[in-house]
Amino acid sequence: MDSNLLSSDLAENLVTTARTATGDSLRSVTYFTRSDFDQLYLRDDLEQDADLNTFVGHEWRGYRETHNAYQESELGKYQFTVRSFENGYLLRVARDRRGVLITTDGLSMQSYEEIAQALTQMLADFETE
């Protein structure tokens, strides 16, 4: 689990947190910044040739647009995004300078909320180091 952007400990902690919360449903874990990304985990039965550059770029822009669009929302502060696809789900958790994408098979909304909370805390702790 080599990363050019993170210490090996933080990379391992992100994957372990996602894996613990999702079990065998975890498909992938990708850490990203404004300008780069590292795929930290990809389940063995999935194709290794996905175009992550376009995918991550879209998710970063999507985070910025969502965060800005809903700053004054009566719903409260934006927390995370869950996207549903034909073959799985994507959870995006981001902060001002970095974020994490995980893809999964189906989970309950409560599970996504718990994973998002844990990943958000890890990103916040990383920013204060």
User: For the segment 93-117, what is each residue's pLDDT rounded down to a tens digit?
Assistant: 988 788 999 999 988 889 999 999 9
Look at residues 110, 59, 26 and name the one whose alpha carbon lies nearest to residue 14. 26
3-state SS class at 5? coil
What are the chain's domains?
8-128 (3.30.450.30)
- Tell me: pLDDT of 125 over 90: no
Return d(Cα 115, Cα 109) in angstroms, integer: 10
pLDDT at 129: 59
pLDDT digits (tens, 9 = 90+) for 22-49: 888 999 999 988 888 889 999 988 877 7
Residues 85/19/125/57 CA torsion (nearest 10 deg): -30
Look over the chain and give the mean of its residue pLDDT values, rounded to a whole number.
85
pLDDT band of 1, cuts 50, 70, 90: low
Query: Count of H helices and E strands in the chain?
Result: 3, 5
* Residue 2 Rama label (left phi>0; alpha psi -120 to 50; beta): beta
Query: What is this structure's pTM?
Result: 0.86
Tokens 């996905």, residue located: 50
pLDDT at 116: 93
